[in-house]
Amino acid sequence: MRPDLAVSIDDVEAVRARVADVAVVTPTVPTATLSERVGTQVSLKLESIQPTGSFKVRGAASKIASLDANTAARGVVTASTGNHGRAVAHVARSLGIPATVCVSHNVPPGKVRALRALGCDLAVGGHSQTDGLAAAEALVADRGMTLVHPFDDRAVIAGQGTIGVEIAEQRSDVGTVVVPLSGGGLISGVAVAVKARCPWARVIGVSMERGAVMAASLSAGHPVELDEEPTLADSLQGGIGTDNRYTLAITQALVDDVVLVTEQQIWDAMRFVLHHHRVVLEGGGAVGVAALLAGRLAAPGPVVVVASGANAEDAQIAALAGAADAPPT
Ligand SMILES: *Cc1c(COP(=O)(O)O)cnc(C)c1O
């Protein structure tokens, strides 16, 4: 137990019931092929089968279901058009709470259609992600809506931590947990739970080489900003916030190591899980497998890899199924 940290195992246990109303308990599936390659038993924690295709429903459910009735009635808002935005829209609808996603004119029509289909309100304006965030903050100030932060929020971190509790129950002898890492909400929650339940286990973060903001911030000892570069792991893009409150400190305290993977390694991992397991993972969801396949982890087994999301583009899936050596451009 680490009483100095902002999120505890008790916080994680306290949100389990709320999370279970919307998210499913995902299976931890042993993979013989990967185990042979790595030389120790490896399992995939299939968050890719959650409603909306990623673990983000857990944090969104934890946060949104914690709001009192009056606050909830004013609605929730986010500026994310990716997995977090989808999760917020889905959870809000299933709980009967109004949700608004602020999107800029630069957001591709396919993403806008997907969000509309989830039944949320769209506030369209501006020309960048920063404009979207400013619009969301204005709705918080003017209408008393609640911003659901994608990672730097105690309720969100506790929600993601339910993955760690499940891993400890499903594989009580786990030696290493491998976790995709961007803003750090996922790894913070998982590490709080795993270190409490299985204190001997190592928790390893994996990011893409192209724009690994948390890795750079850990080295610097404070939040740093990096330019965004195009990557297959688009769900891992974005910073940790120059005013980061929770995830940098928890990651510093509990995460044992962070490794980086190349675009080719991510592509090879996406292809590997499709061919060997008939599992579709998006780039950000496949970085853990990528690190293992690339021999980047000398990990004590058994190893559990969090396969965090499924939302690859159709064109990518078609190219993967065709066994292409490189992603479509
Ligand atoms: C958001 C996301 C992550 C990273 O989560 P953080 O809490 O930002 O570190 C990993 N994988 C997928 C598929 C995601 O959508």
Quick one: which atom of ligand 1 is closest to the CA of 82?
15
Instruction: Specify the pLDDT at position 328.
Output: 73
If one residue of 44, 49, 182 were mutated to test the ligand 1 pocket, choosing by the most ligand atoms within 8 A of its CB, it would be 182
Write down the pLDDT at residue 58.
98
Q: Percent of the chain having pLDDT more than 90?
A: 81
Pocket residue to mutate for ligand 1, from 62, 81, 83, 90, most atoms within 8 A of Cβ: 83
Give tens-digit pLDDT for 65-115: 999 999 999 999 998 888 999 999 999 999 999 999 998 888 878 778 888
- CB of 97 closer than 8 Å to CB of 76: yes
Measured in whole angstroms, the distance separating CA 115 from the mean position of its chain's CA atoms is 18
What 3-state class would DSSP assign to 146? strand
Give the Cα separation of 8 and 14 in Å (integer): 10
- pTM for this structure? 0.95
Residue 251 to residue 216: CA distance in whole angstroms: 12
Phi-psi region of 323 (alpha: psi -120 to 50; beta: other; left: phi over 0): left
Domains in the chain, start-ordered, CATH in brackets? Answer: 9-54+153-321 (3.40.50.1100), 57-147 (3.40.50.1100)
**Residue 53 Cβ contacting ligand 1 at under 6 Å:** no
Q: What is the number of other CB atoms lying within 10 angstroms of the CB of residue 209?
A: 16
CA of 285 to the centre of ligand 1 (A): 8
Residue with tokens 């992603």, as numbered in its chain: 327
265-324 residue pLDDT tens: 999 999 999 999 999 999 999 999 999 999 988 889 899 999 999 999 889 999 999 866
Over the Cα atoms of the chain, what is R_g? 19
